[in-house]
Amino acid sequence: MINKKTNWNVTLLLIVGTLFILFPLYLTITISFKTPQEMAENLLALPVNWSFDNFRTAILTTGFFSALKNSLFVTIFVVIFTVLTNSLVAYVIARNMHKKIYKILFYYFVSAMFVPFPIIMLPLVKQTSAWQMDNLPGLIVLYILFNLSFNIFIYVGYIRSIPIELEEAAVMDGASTWKVFWKVIFPLLAPMNATVAILTCLSTWNDFLLPLVMLDHDHATLPLVQYIFQSEFGTNYNTAFASYLMALLPMVIVYVLAQKWIISGVMKGSIK
């Protein structure tokens, strides 16, 4: 019999960490349903009457559904094209790492992870404006490119663990390189594809800085709308928190439903 003892130090640390995460979420939810008077009386108490008036005001004030449409448009296309293109580029590099040019290219892409965005922010704004890319399609292209460095890093390691004999067998059966990738390699990348898709979805949905420097008010995404709302109505906390909760809720649902894919992808990648 294995004597399983509870590690109370780790358990206590996990409890404290959980409270640090759940407490702000609790405040966001309760303040969203409170009136200003209830919030002033007792910040931590539950609402007396759970009213949706703050949500209706937030929808009308922020143009929530227009921003939601923009965020969905950007996020969906970024996730799809990121998975398709980044995995393809990583495959080419992974299978040619014995060649010096591809090894240099790999380290070139990986090095981009260490370049802070503020350093390239101003040149990027000028360049996108000159190329008329300061719009939602331009934003999608930039997200795909910015995701490339990290995704190549994790894809290449995973692809190199896949036996090359599978590809050789497919080639002997008459498959082209293009068909080998889509019919043999891409299905085997399912754990990594799921991980990349989920992480890309979360980062794209929540990103604030790139839309801030690129988009105008008519094409604002949800994080940008929250910033504009906070700037104009900073003291209306109940409506502001209702707006934050509506922007937060879709990604909370996505993460809760898809967290097993993230864990599965990380575990399979580490085992391989």
pLDDT at 265: 53
Q: Please name which of 37, 58, 103, 8 lies closest in space to residue 222, comparing C-alpha atoms.
A: 58
pLDDT at 233: 60
| HEC-encoded secondary structure of the chain | CCCCCCCHHHHHHHHHHHHHHHHHHHHHHHHHHCCHHHHHHCCCCCCCCCCCHHHHHHHHHHCHHHHHHHHHHHHHHHHHHHHHHHHHHHHHHHCCCCCHHHHHHHHHHHHHHHCCHHHHHHHHHHHHHHCCCCCHHHHHHHHHHHHHHHHHHHHHHHHCCCCCHHHHHHHHCCCCHHHHHHHHHHHHCHHHHHHHHHHHHHHHHHCCHHHHHHCCHHHCCHHHHHHHHHHHCCCCHHHHHHHHHHHHHHHHHHHHHHHHHHHHHHHHHHHC
pLDDT at 22: 87
Q: Rounded to two decimals, what is the model's pTM?
A: 0.82
pLDDT at 205: 92
Q: What is the pLDDT along the chain (272 residues), one digit of tens a residue?
A: 455 677 778 888 888 888 888 888 888 888 888 888 888 888 888 888 888 888 888 888 888 888 899 999 999 999 999 999 999 999 999 999 989 999 999 999 989 888 888 888 888 888 888 888 888 999 999 999 898 999 999 999 899 988 888 888 888 888 888 999 999 899 999 888 988 998 899 899 989 888 888 888 788 898 888 887 776 666 678 888 888 888 888 888 877 777 666 655 555 544 44
CA gap 33, 30 in Å, rounded: 5
CA gap 214, 121 in Å, rounded: 10
Contacts of 38 (CB under 8 A, 6+ apart): 45, 47, 48
Half-sphere exposure of 1 (CA within 13 A, CB side): 3
What Å distances lie between residue 212 and 122, 139, 192, CA to CA? 12, 11, 30
